Amino acid sequence: MNANMHALIIGRTRSGKSKLLQSIFTQTLLQQGTCAILEPHFEFSMDSLKDMIAAKMFKSQEAFYRLIYMDFNNGYYWPLNILAGDERKIRAYDEEEIETVVETALDIMTRIWPELNEAPQFTEFFTALWSTSCRLLPCTD
CA distances from 108 to 22, 78, 105 (A): 27, 10, 5
How far apart CA 67 and CA 29 sit, in angstroms, is 9
Query: What is the DSSP track for 72-122?
Result: TTSS---SS-TT---HHHHHTT-HHHHHHHHHHHHHHHHHH-GGGGGSTTH
Contact call for residues 97 and 86 (beta carbons, < 8 A): yes
What is the pLDDT averaged over residues 113-137?
81
Q: What is the pLDDT of residues 21-40, one digit of tens each?
A: 888 888 888 887 777 776 66
Residue of 132, 139, 109, 111 whose CA lies nearest to 9: 132
The model's pTM is 0.48
pLDDT score at 72 = 61
Return the pLDDT at 75. Answer: 58
* pLDDT score, position 141: 53
What is the pLDDT at residue 2?
56
